[in-house]
Amino acid sequence: MNAHRFAWCAYSSLRCTLIAISTALFPCVSLCQMAFGEGEQARTELENRVEALTIFSGDFGLASGIFKSRATVQPDSTSATELSVTKVGGGGDIGDPRPFGNFPIGWQPRLQGNMGYLESASLPGPGQSAGDHIDTYAIEFGGGARFWLSDGFSLAPTVMALYGHASGNYYSIDSAHPKGQGPLGSLTGVALNDWNLDTWGLRPALDLQYVLTVGRDIITLTSDPTYFRMQSFDSSDPNVRINGNSGSLTNKIDIDIPLGFEFAGHELRSGGYLSRTDLFGDLKSGLAVEHMNEIHGRLVMDWLQQLWKVQWLGIGASYFWGTNIRGWSAGIDAAFRF
Protein backbone atom coordinates (compact mmCIF):
# COMPACT_ATOMS: atom_id res chain seq x y z
CA MET A 1 0.00 0.00 0.00
CA ASN A 2 2.83 2.28 -0.80
CA ALA A 3 3.43 5.03 -3.29
CA HIS A 4 -0.04 6.47 -3.25
CA ARG A 5 1.32 9.55 -1.74
CA PHE A 6 0.60 13.15 -2.43
CA ALA A 7 3.56 15.21 -1.44
CA TRP A 8 3.21 18.87 -0.81
CA CYS A 9 5.95 21.35 -0.28
CA ALA A 10 5.65 24.99 0.53
CA TYR A 11 8.68 27.15 0.61
CA SER A 12 7.54 30.60 1.59
CA SER A 13 9.49 33.56 0.40
CA LEU A 14 12.44 31.52 -0.70
CA ARG A 15 15.08 33.71 -2.14
CA CYS A 16 17.23 32.38 -4.89
CA THR A 17 20.42 34.13 -5.85
CA LEU A 18 22.13 33.46 -9.09
CA ILE A 19 25.47 35.06 -9.66
CA ALA A 20 26.14 34.40 -13.25
CA ILE A 21 28.85 35.21 -15.72
CA SER A 22 27.03 34.35 -18.87
CA THR A 23 25.70 36.34 -21.72
CA ALA A 24 23.41 33.42 -22.44
CA LEU A 25 21.70 33.89 -19.11
CA PHE A 26 21.80 37.65 -19.02
CA PRO A 27 21.62 39.33 -22.38
CA CYS A 28 21.99 42.73 -20.82
CA VAL A 29 25.45 41.94 -19.51
CA SER A 30 27.67 42.56 -22.49
CA LEU A 31 25.84 45.27 -24.30
CA CYS A 32 28.95 47.24 -24.98
CA GLN A 33 30.55 44.39 -26.88
CA MET A 34 27.44 43.46 -28.80
CA ALA A 35 27.52 43.95 -32.53
CA PHE A 36 24.39 44.68 -34.48
CA GLY A 37 24.35 41.21 -36.02
CA GLU A 38 24.21 39.66 -32.58
CA GLY A 39 20.78 41.09 -31.91
CA GLU A 40 19.01 37.96 -33.10
CA GLN A 41 21.20 35.82 -30.92
CA ALA A 42 20.55 38.03 -27.92
CA ARG A 43 16.83 37.83 -28.52
CA THR A 44 16.99 34.04 -28.72
CA GLU A 45 18.94 33.99 -25.50
CA LEU A 46 16.34 36.19 -23.86
CA GLU A 47 13.60 33.84 -25.08
CA ASN A 48 15.48 30.81 -23.78
CA ARG A 49 15.89 32.51 -20.46
CA VAL A 50 12.21 33.37 -20.18
CA GLU A 51 11.29 29.83 -21.21
CA ALA A 52 13.65 28.36 -18.63
CA LEU A 53 12.38 30.64 -15.88
CA THR A 54 8.77 29.77 -16.74
CA ILE A 55 9.52 26.06 -16.49
CA PHE A 56 11.60 26.58 -13.37
CA SER A 57 8.80 28.46 -11.64
CA GLY A 58 5.97 26.19 -12.70
CA ASP A 59 7.28 22.65 -12.75
CA PHE A 60 6.69 20.57 -9.64
CA GLY A 61 9.59 18.28 -10.41
CA LEU A 62 12.27 20.96 -10.33
CA ALA A 63 13.60 22.14 -7.03
CA SER A 64 13.09 25.47 -5.36
CA GLY A 65 15.46 27.03 -2.91
CA ILE A 66 18.19 29.55 -2.41
CA PHE A 67 20.76 29.24 -5.13
CA LYS A 68 24.09 30.76 -5.98
CA SER A 69 25.37 30.04 -9.41
CA ARG A 70 28.64 30.78 -11.11
CA ALA A 71 28.63 30.10 -14.82
CA THR A 72 32.00 30.02 -16.53
CA VAL A 73 31.01 30.71 -20.09
CA GLN A 74 32.67 34.09 -20.09
CA PRO A 75 34.92 34.46 -17.08
CA ASP A 76 35.85 38.04 -17.76
CA SER A 77 32.30 39.24 -17.34
CA THR A 78 30.33 39.23 -14.13
CA SER A 79 26.81 40.08 -13.12
CA ALA A 80 24.41 38.93 -10.47
CA THR A 81 20.84 37.82 -10.59
CA GLU A 82 18.61 37.34 -7.61
CA LEU A 83 15.73 34.92 -7.80
CA SER A 84 12.87 34.53 -5.40
CA VAL A 85 10.81 31.37 -5.93
CA THR A 86 7.71 30.13 -4.15
CA LYS A 87 6.19 26.80 -5.11
CA VAL A 88 3.28 24.77 -3.88
CA GLY A 89 2.66 21.48 -5.56
CA GLY A 90 3.12 17.78 -5.73
CA GLY A 91 1.87 14.57 -7.17
CA GLY A 92 0.37 11.36 -5.98
CA ASP A 93 -1.26 8.07 -6.84
CA ILE A 94 -4.91 7.75 -5.90
CA GLY A 95 -6.16 4.74 -3.98
CA ASP A 96 -4.79 1.24 -3.92
CA PRO A 97 -3.53 -0.57 -7.02
CA ARG A 98 -6.24 -2.45 -8.85
CA PRO A 99 -5.90 -5.17 -11.48
CA PHE A 100 -5.33 -4.03 -15.05
CA GLY A 101 -7.60 -6.31 -17.01
CA ASN A 102 -6.45 -9.89 -16.89
CA PHE A 103 -2.80 -8.94 -16.89
CA PRO A 104 -0.59 -9.45 -13.84
CA ILE A 105 -0.32 -5.69 -13.62
CA GLY A 106 -1.79 -3.26 -11.14
CA TRP A 107 -2.63 0.34 -11.85
CA GLN A 108 -3.63 3.53 -10.08
CA PRO A 109 -4.70 6.90 -11.44
CA ARG A 110 -2.19 9.64 -10.77
CA LEU A 111 -2.61 13.39 -10.36
CA GLN A 112 0.06 16.08 -10.38
CA GLY A 113 -0.10 19.82 -9.96
CA ASN A 114 1.93 22.84 -9.05
CA MET A 115 1.74 26.60 -8.74
CA GLY A 116 4.82 28.75 -8.62
CA TYR A 117 5.96 32.33 -8.60
CA LEU A 118 9.42 33.53 -9.48
CA GLU A 119 11.07 36.94 -9.33
CA SER A 120 14.33 37.47 -11.14
CA ALA A 121 16.43 40.60 -10.89
CA SER A 122 19.62 40.94 -12.89
CA LEU A 123 21.98 43.38 -11.33
CA PRO A 124 24.68 45.06 -13.41
CA GLY A 125 28.17 43.88 -12.65
CA PRO A 126 31.33 45.97 -12.52
CA GLY A 127 31.61 48.13 -15.61
CA GLN A 128 28.09 47.34 -16.73
CA SER A 129 25.23 49.73 -16.91
CA ALA A 130 22.12 47.65 -17.43
CA GLY A 131 19.97 45.10 -15.69
CA ASP A 132 16.52 43.70 -15.88
CA HIS A 133 13.71 42.37 -13.75
CA ILE A 134 11.53 39.41 -14.72
CA ASP A 135 8.49 38.09 -12.87
CA THR A 136 7.07 34.72 -13.78
CA TYR A 137 4.13 32.83 -12.44
CA ALA A 138 3.01 29.51 -13.72
CA ILE A 139 0.50 26.80 -13.02
CA GLU A 140 0.84 23.18 -14.03
CA PHE A 141 -1.67 20.35 -13.83
CA GLY A 142 -2.06 16.92 -15.26
CA GLY A 143 -2.03 13.26 -14.54
CA GLY A 144 -1.69 9.78 -15.81
CA ALA A 145 -1.52 6.35 -14.32
CA ARG A 146 0.94 4.27 -12.38
CA PHE A 147 1.36 0.70 -13.54
CA TRP A 148 2.75 -1.86 -11.11
CA LEU A 149 4.71 -4.52 -12.96
CA SER A 150 5.74 -6.16 -9.72
CA ASP A 151 5.10 -5.55 -6.03
CA GLY A 152 8.01 -3.11 -5.94
CA PHE A 153 8.51 -1.80 -9.45
CA SER A 154 6.17 0.60 -11.20
CA LEU A 155 6.17 3.13 -13.98
CA ALA A 156 3.92 6.15 -14.36
CA PRO A 157 3.48 7.87 -17.73
CA THR A 158 1.97 11.31 -17.24
CA VAL A 159 1.07 14.36 -19.29
CA MET A 160 0.79 17.83 -17.82
CA ALA A 161 -0.16 21.19 -19.24
CA LEU A 162 1.63 24.30 -18.11
CA TYR A 163 0.58 27.92 -18.35
CA GLY A 164 3.00 30.68 -17.55
CA HIS A 165 2.96 34.44 -17.60
CA ALA A 166 6.20 36.38 -17.65
CA SER A 167 6.69 40.10 -17.49
CA GLY A 168 9.80 42.18 -17.28
CA ASN A 169 11.54 45.48 -17.35
CA TYR A 170 14.90 46.48 -18.66
CA TYR A 171 16.66 49.25 -16.83
CA SER A 172 19.85 51.18 -17.25
CA ILE A 173 21.91 53.14 -14.82
CA ASP A 174 23.46 54.89 -17.80
CA SER A 175 21.57 58.13 -18.39
CA ALA A 176 22.44 57.98 -22.09
CA HIS A 177 20.44 54.78 -22.43
CA PRO A 178 17.35 55.01 -20.24
CA LYS A 179 15.29 51.98 -19.56
CA GLY A 180 13.86 50.18 -22.52
CA GLN A 181 15.85 52.23 -25.01
CA GLY A 182 19.32 50.90 -24.45
CA PRO A 183 21.54 49.28 -27.01
CA LEU A 184 19.94 45.87 -26.61
CA GLY A 185 16.54 47.27 -27.37
CA SER A 186 17.74 48.96 -30.52
CA LEU A 187 19.71 45.94 -31.63
CA THR A 188 16.98 43.40 -31.14
CA GLY A 189 14.02 45.54 -32.00
CA VAL A 190 12.43 44.49 -28.74
CA ALA A 191 10.70 46.96 -26.50
CA LEU A 192 12.29 45.69 -23.33
CA ASN A 193 10.39 47.89 -20.96
CA ASP A 194 7.16 46.56 -19.50
CA TRP A 195 7.00 43.54 -21.78
CA ASN A 196 4.87 40.54 -20.96
CA LEU A 197 4.48 37.10 -22.44
CA ASP A 198 1.99 34.27 -22.02
CA THR A 199 3.25 30.76 -22.55
CA TRP A 200 1.75 27.32 -22.57
CA GLY A 201 3.46 24.02 -22.62
CA LEU A 202 3.07 20.28 -22.60
CA ARG A 203 5.03 18.10 -20.21
CA PRO A 204 5.02 14.39 -21.00
CA ALA A 205 7.04 12.38 -18.50
CA LEU A 206 7.69 8.87 -17.33
CA ASP A 207 8.29 8.11 -13.67
CA LEU A 208 10.08 4.83 -12.99
CA GLN A 209 9.99 3.76 -9.37
CA TYR A 210 11.30 0.83 -7.37
CA VAL A 211 10.27 0.50 -3.72
CA LEU A 212 12.29 -1.67 -1.39
CA THR A 213 11.46 -2.30 2.27
CA VAL A 214 14.29 -3.23 4.62
CA GLY A 215 12.95 -3.91 8.08
CA ARG A 216 10.77 -0.88 8.70
CA ASP A 217 12.83 1.36 6.44
CA ILE A 218 11.52 2.21 2.99
CA ILE A 219 13.99 2.81 0.17
CA THR A 220 12.61 4.29 -3.04
CA LEU A 221 14.58 4.57 -6.26
CA THR A 222 13.09 6.80 -8.94
CA SER A 223 14.03 7.99 -12.38
CA ASP A 224 12.06 10.76 -14.10
CA PRO A 225 12.76 11.56 -17.75
CA THR A 226 10.71 14.64 -18.61
CA TYR A 227 10.18 16.59 -21.81
CA PHE A 228 8.88 20.15 -22.12
CA ARG A 229 7.36 21.63 -25.25
CA MET A 230 6.83 25.34 -24.69
CA GLN A 231 5.19 27.90 -26.93
CA SER A 232 4.11 31.49 -26.43
CA PHE A 233 0.65 32.56 -27.55
CA ASP A 234 0.39 36.15 -26.45
CA SER A 235 3.18 38.67 -26.33
CA SER A 236 3.32 42.41 -25.91
CA ASP A 237 6.05 42.40 -28.50
CA PRO A 238 5.61 40.30 -31.66
CA ASN A 239 9.36 39.88 -31.90
CA VAL A 240 9.55 38.01 -28.63
CA ARG A 241 8.30 34.46 -28.99
CA ILE A 242 8.91 31.17 -27.29
CA ASN A 243 8.94 28.04 -29.36
CA GLY A 244 11.29 25.65 -27.69
CA ASN A 245 12.06 22.22 -26.37
CA SER A 246 13.53 21.33 -23.03
CA GLY A 247 14.08 18.24 -20.99
CA SER A 248 15.25 16.98 -17.66
CA LEU A 249 16.24 13.65 -16.17
CA THR A 250 16.07 13.24 -12.42
CA ASN A 251 17.42 10.17 -10.65
CA LYS A 252 16.72 9.92 -6.96
CA ILE A 253 17.19 7.60 -4.02
CA ASP A 254 14.94 8.26 -1.03
CA ILE A 255 15.02 6.60 2.36
CA ASP A 256 12.23 6.83 4.94
CA ILE A 257 13.25 5.74 8.43
CA PRO A 258 10.94 5.34 11.43
CA LEU A 259 12.84 6.31 14.57
CA GLY A 260 10.93 4.09 16.97
CA PHE A 261 9.95 6.71 19.52
CA GLU A 262 7.02 9.06 19.80
CA PHE A 263 6.49 12.75 20.35
CA ALA A 264 3.02 13.94 21.32
CA GLY A 265 1.57 10.59 20.37
CA HIS A 266 3.13 10.42 16.93
CA GLU A 267 6.14 8.40 15.90
CA LEU A 268 9.02 10.47 14.65
CA ARG A 269 10.46 9.61 11.26
CA SER A 270 13.60 10.77 9.56
CA GLY A 271 15.05 10.31 6.13
CA GLY A 272 15.79 12.17 2.98
CA TYR A 273 16.98 11.73 -0.52
CA LEU A 274 19.89 12.23 -2.86
CA SER A 275 19.11 13.22 -6.42
CA ARG A 276 20.74 14.37 -9.62
CA THR A 277 18.87 16.34 -12.26
CA ASP A 278 20.32 16.76 -15.75
CA LEU A 279 18.88 19.56 -17.84
CA PHE A 280 18.57 19.59 -21.62
CA GLY A 281 17.60 21.97 -24.39
CA ASP A 282 16.44 25.48 -23.60
CA LEU A 283 16.20 24.70 -19.92
CA LYS A 284 19.90 23.97 -19.87
CA SER A 285 20.92 26.98 -21.96
CA GLY A 286 18.43 29.34 -20.36
CA LEU A 287 19.60 28.62 -16.83
CA ALA A 288 23.22 27.90 -17.83
CA VAL A 289 23.04 24.81 -15.63
CA GLU A 290 23.85 21.36 -16.98
CA HIS A 291 23.02 19.35 -13.91
CA MET A 292 22.10 19.85 -10.30
CA ASN A 293 22.47 17.54 -7.33
CA GLU A 294 20.32 17.73 -4.24
CA ILE A 295 20.63 16.17 -0.83
CA HIS A 296 17.57 16.49 1.35
CA GLY A 297 16.96 15.69 5.00
CA ARG A 298 13.74 15.73 6.95
CA LEU A 299 12.38 15.17 10.43
CA VAL A 300 8.67 14.52 10.46
CA MET A 301 5.86 13.17 12.62
CA ASP A 302 3.82 10.19 11.47
CA TRP A 303 0.16 11.19 11.22
CA LEU A 304 -0.99 8.38 8.95
CA GLN A 305 -4.40 7.00 9.94
CA GLN A 306 -4.49 9.61 12.69
CA LEU A 307 -5.31 12.86 10.90
CA TRP A 308 -7.31 12.85 7.67
CA LYS A 309 -5.00 11.82 4.81
CA VAL A 310 -1.84 13.27 6.31
CA GLN A 311 1.05 10.86 6.06
CA TRP A 312 3.66 13.00 7.70
CA LEU A 313 4.24 16.58 8.73
CA GLY A 314 7.52 18.14 9.71
CA ILE A 315 10.46 20.12 8.47
CA GLY A 316 12.96 19.51 5.72
CA ALA A 317 16.01 21.10 4.19
CA SER A 318 18.04 20.61 1.04
CA TYR A 319 21.47 21.47 -0.22
CA PHE A 320 22.07 21.84 -3.94
CA TRP A 321 25.23 21.69 -5.96
CA GLY A 322 26.10 21.11 -9.55
CA THR A 323 27.31 22.77 -12.71
CA ASN A 324 27.59 26.48 -11.94
CA ILE A 325 25.13 26.23 -9.11
CA ARG A 326 24.88 25.69 -5.42
CA GLY A 327 22.24 26.53 -2.90
CA TRP A 328 19.88 25.38 -0.23
CA SER A 329 16.24 25.32 0.69
CA ALA A 330 14.22 24.80 3.84
CA GLY A 331 10.57 24.57 4.58
CA ILE A 332 7.60 22.53 5.64
CA ASP A 333 7.83 18.88 4.65
CA ALA A 334 4.43 17.25 4.33
CA ALA A 335 3.05 14.21 2.58
CA PHE A 336 -0.46 12.92 2.10
CA ARG A 337 -1.73 9.47 1.27
CA PHE A 338 -5.03 9.09 -0.54
Partner 1 sequence: MCRPQAVRKVSSLMSPTRGISAFILVAAILVLAGCWSLPGSHALNSNRQSRTVSPAVLVESVTCISIVKSVDFGARTITLLDAGDRLWVTYSVDSGVSNLGDFKRGDHVEATLAKRITLGRGTPHDDREASLAPPNDARVLLLDRSYRLLTLRRANGVIETVKISLRTNLSEIEPGEAVTKEVVNVTALRLKKRSAASGENR
- Shortest CB 282 distance to partner 1, Å: 7
Count helices and strands in the chain by DSSP H and E runs: 3, 15
* Closer CB to partner 1, 37 or 126, in the complex: 37
- Shortest CB 125 distance to partner 1, Å: 28
* Helix H or strand E segment including 171: strand 153-172
- Shortest CB 80 distance to partner 1, Å: 28
* Closer CB to partner 1, 97 or 327, in the complex: 97
Q: Do the beta carbons of residue 279 and residue 291 sit within 8 Å?
A: yes
How many Cα atoms sit within 13 Å of 150 on the Cβ side?
7
- Shortest CB 130 distance to partner 1, Å: 25
DSSP string, 6-58: EEEEE-TTEEEEE----TTT-TTTTTTT--GGGHHHHHHHHHHHHHHHHHHHH
- Shortest CB 105 distance to partner 1, Å: 5
* Closer CB to partner 1, 241 or 326, in the complex: 241
Q: Do the beta carbons of residue 295 and residue 274 sit within 8 Å?
A: yes
d(CA 201, CA 272): 31
CA distance between the termini of the chain = 10
* Closer CB to partner 1, 26 or 280, in the complex: 280
Applying CB under 8 A, the residues found at the interface with partner 1 are 1-2, 44, 96-99, 104-106, 148-153, 155, 208, 210, 213, 215-218, 223, 225, 227, 241, 243-245, 247, 249, 256, 258, 260-262, 267, 280-282, 302, 304-306, 311
- Shortest CB 174 distance to partner 1, Å: 30
- Shortest CB 210 distance to partner 1, Å: 6
Question: Cβ-count burial of 330 within 10 angstroms (0-12 exposed, 13-18 middle, 19+ buried)?
Answer: middle
d(CA 290, CA 292): 7
Residue 92: which residues within 8 A CB-CB, separation 6 or more? 4, 5, 6, 7, 110, 111, 112, 336, 337, 338
- Shortest CB 267 distance to partner 1, Å: 6
Residue 77: which residues within 8 A CB-CB, separation 6 or more? 21, 23, 29, 30, 125, 128
* Closer CB to partner 1, 32 or 98, in the complex: 98
